[in-house]
């Protein structure tokens, strides 16, 4: 998987502490080891993606082991369908899932996230992998170069994902199901509006190979309750009253419910 210029698509070559393309676009390699390949014109805000606080909360929650059944399901699905090649995790966050999946496959790993804080945290801890601050909308990698592309609780960009996958590459997508975290939702919202949600979507240019539901109970206590909230979109939607009710909650018994979808190029 070679890196390409996110502006013009030409190959990038290393020049000391930067990567540069033949047309003169150049990008810094940060002290922490990640590459910043997000040009201003591809940013929607000054600091896009998860904040440092969210990234650290996510790491604390994931490392508590509460979501181990999810990574186990993803690892098994990957092992069953993978045919070789490099792993690219899009919207990789702080890297916990990606590192374990790539290790199980003994494959080289690249993680990409639009949040600089997320890739900075990933690069600081997992030095053997490559980390990129970039956007899923314009993946800075060559066509047909990825063996396993994963997107966990993050976005899917069909055309771009298809472009970078090898012919026999797979796309592994994890989506929250409708009944994910009902315990948390019932504390923070006065009433829960169940929106119709397709957790096994049809994706243009892809064929579904397998869909594996993952559902399990877990308990979060003390700080882990707030950490869990910051990992979810409810973090942005919660009201002051909802936040207060959650702060008063000492022990949260909840159910995680998601779907691991495996797609092949159609
Ligand atoms: C819900 S988090 C999931 C993180 C990680 N996959 C996990 O499950 O722990 C979604 C991630 O997508 C990132 N993100 C949002 N928009 C993005 C984009 N356009 N390109 C790449 N990453 C993006 C966010 O910064 C965040 O880290
Ligand atoms: Zn360029």
pLDDT at 43: 77
Structure tokens at 253: 């018994």
Neighbouring CB atoms inside 10 A of 50's CB total: 24
Distance CA 23, CA 171 (A): 32
pLDDT at 60: 97
Ligand 1, atom 12: nearest CA belongs to which residue?
Answer: 91
| CA 18 to ligand 2 center in whole angstroms | 13
pLDDT at 153: 96
pLDDT at 227: 97
| CA 20 to ligand 2 center in whole angstroms | 7
Residues of the chain with pLDDT under 70: none
| CA 121 to ligand 1 center in whole angstroms | 13
Domains in the chain (CATH in brackets) are 13-265 (3.40.50.150)
Residue with tokens 């990567």: 19
pTM of the model: 0.96
Rg over alpha carbons for the chain, rounded to the nearest Å, is 19
């Amino acid at each position: 998987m070679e890196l390409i210029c996110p502006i013009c698509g030409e190959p990038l070559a290393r020049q000391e502490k930067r990567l540069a393309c033949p047309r003169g676009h150049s990008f810094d390699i940060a002290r922490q080891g990640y590459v910043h390949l997000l040009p201003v014109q591809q940013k929607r805000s000054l600091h896009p993606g998860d904040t440092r606080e969210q990234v650290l909360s996510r790491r604390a929650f994931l490392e508590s082991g509460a979501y181990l059944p999810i990574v186990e399901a993803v690892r098994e699905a990957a092992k069953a369908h993978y045919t070789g090649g490099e792993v690219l995790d899009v919207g990789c966050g702080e890297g916990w899932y990606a590192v374990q999946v790539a290790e199980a496959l003994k494959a080289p790993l690249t993680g990409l996230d639009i949040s600089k804080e997320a890739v900075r945290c990933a690069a600081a801890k997992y030095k053997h992998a490559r980390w990129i601050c970039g956007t899923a909308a314009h993946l800075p990698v060559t066509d047909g170069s990825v063996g396993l592309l994963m997107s966990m609780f993050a976005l899917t960009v069909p055309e771009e994902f298809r472009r970078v996958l090898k012919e026999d590459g797979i796309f592994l997508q994890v989506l929250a199901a409708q009944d994910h975290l009902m315990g948390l939702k019932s504390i923070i919202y006065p009433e829960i509006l169940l929106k119709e949600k397709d957790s096994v979507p049809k994706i243009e240019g892809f064929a579904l190979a397998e869909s594996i539901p993952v559902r399990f109970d877990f308990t979060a206590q003390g700080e882990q309750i707030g950490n869990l909230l910051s990992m979810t979109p409810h973090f942005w939607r919660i009201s002051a009253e909802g936040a207060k009710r959650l702060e008063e909650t000492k022990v949260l018994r909840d159910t995680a419910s998601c779907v691991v979808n495996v797609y092949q190029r159609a």
